[in-house]
Structure 1
């Protein structure tokens, strides 16, 4: 009986051990050299660094949306627009304008679709003002925020965070300010949130 119990216990432990060993630093994710403080230490923070003009970010977006539907209470998800080039700035501003106006749900996915499906050029304030108006946001409200102190402050904070993360491309997922997951480290967009889930559990422990 003792031998039988030991064999049963071992059979249960083997899958767990295999799962735990599935990912490691350099295999699935990279560890950030100097961890970055999160906004809420009581939760595991998951941050997606993105750019609306990035086709890989566009491909990841439906996967992100599906994953977000089942976010546990102890996980805090955030978007972080990157500005790795001059043409990225207008899109980052658009995200923060939407966030400040409380219309992110109206703007976020439609803006991705407008750029990548409809092939619209939305790289200027005027073009984005027209787009926001189409989504039911007043042009006056959009323009009031576009070059505001609040938007520019958030841009500066985002740039500082991204530099601290050591991120050099998009999309990238930061887990709890400690780990960076990308399509490259995870071997494809479809695996990104599998690694993220693994790291969330790692942080819980």
Structure 2
């Protein structure tokens, strides 16, 4: 009987550990962050092109995003923990405005980490790289990179990073209310499993409010 009770308690402990725990695997964001589409569950990846962990996560994340349910929307937002992270945030938004973000996103990661051909804090080199890789006019790239629109997006990205309470990248925000990361969850795949748990949690919360 004692062995049965011990086994039962062990099973309960294992089950409890299997479910992501608040304050351990994820936490609430420091501030509530407005989402773009109330009809969707929003997932935001905070990333930086200079981060090796973001680079390692990217292939897994790309496959995972393709399998997301229709009621889930994913977007990337450059993380800006320090002023020297801003140039790569400008690079992302400039590429987005120029229509080459999807084409050059992984290539920019490769240029920084695999080829080691680009410093993530060198504005002129970044502009040259986008121009060459995107087959674009340099003057147009430079104007876009330094534009008011791009700088506004960078400022908002920095505000989101602070509001989330993130301390590094990659971090994942769910519905503007929950935050997890590879560090909190214990690995890249574990972080994505936590996000899946939070998606279900948010979906249930939305159903209960109807």
TM-score normalised by structure 2 residue count:
0.84
- The answer on whether the counterparts of 1:132 and 1:138 sit within 8 Å (CA) in structure 2 is no
Q: Which residue of 2 aligns with 1:67?
A: 64
Displacement of 1:154 in angstroms is 0.5
Asked whether 1:124 is paired with 2:122, we answer yes
- The answer on whether the counterparts of 1:52 and 1:58 sit within 8 Å (CA) in structure 2 is yes
Q: Which residue of 2 aligns with 1:30?
A: 27
Distance 1:20 1:78, change over 3 A: farther
How far apart, CA to CA, are the structure 2 residues paired with 1:102 and 1:68?
20
Asked whether 1:166 is paired with 2:165, we answer yes
How far apart, CA to CA, are the structure 1 residues paired with 2:123 and 2:24?
41
How far apart, CA to CA, are the structure 2 residues paired with 1:168 and 1:195?
18
Give the match's secondary structure for 1:143.
helix
Q: Could you tell me which runs of 5 or more consecutive residues in structure 2 were left unpaired when the two chains were aligned.
A: 1-10, 205-210
Question: What's the RMSD between the two structures over aligned residues?
Answer: 2.1
How far apart, CA to CA, are the structure 1 residues paired with 2:149 and 2:22?
37
How far apart, CA to CA, are the structure 2 residues paired with 1:154 and 1:121?
23
Asked whether 1:180 is paired with 2:161, we answer no
Displacement of 1:59 in angstroms is 0.6
How far apart, CA to CA, are the structure 2 residues paired with 1:181 and 1:162?
13
Asked whether 1:142 is paired with 2:145, we answer no
Q: Which residue of 2 aligns with 1:115?
A: 112
Q: Could you tell me which runs of 5 or more consecutive residues in structure 1 were left unpaired when the two chains were aligned.
A: 1-13
Partner deviation per Cα, 1:11-52 (whole Å, 9 max, x = no partner): xxx99xx48961120232112243222111111000000110
Asked whether 1:90 is paired with 2:107, we answer no
Residue 77 of structure 1: which of 60, 74, 78 is its match? 74
Partner deviation per Cα, 1:87-117 (whole Å, 9 max, x = no partner): 2111110000011112111111000001000
How far apart, CA to CA, are the structure 2 residues paired with 1:99 and 1:200?
27
How far apart, CA to CA, are the structure 2 residues paired with 1:85 and 1:198?
31
Displacement of 1:128 in angstroms is 1.3
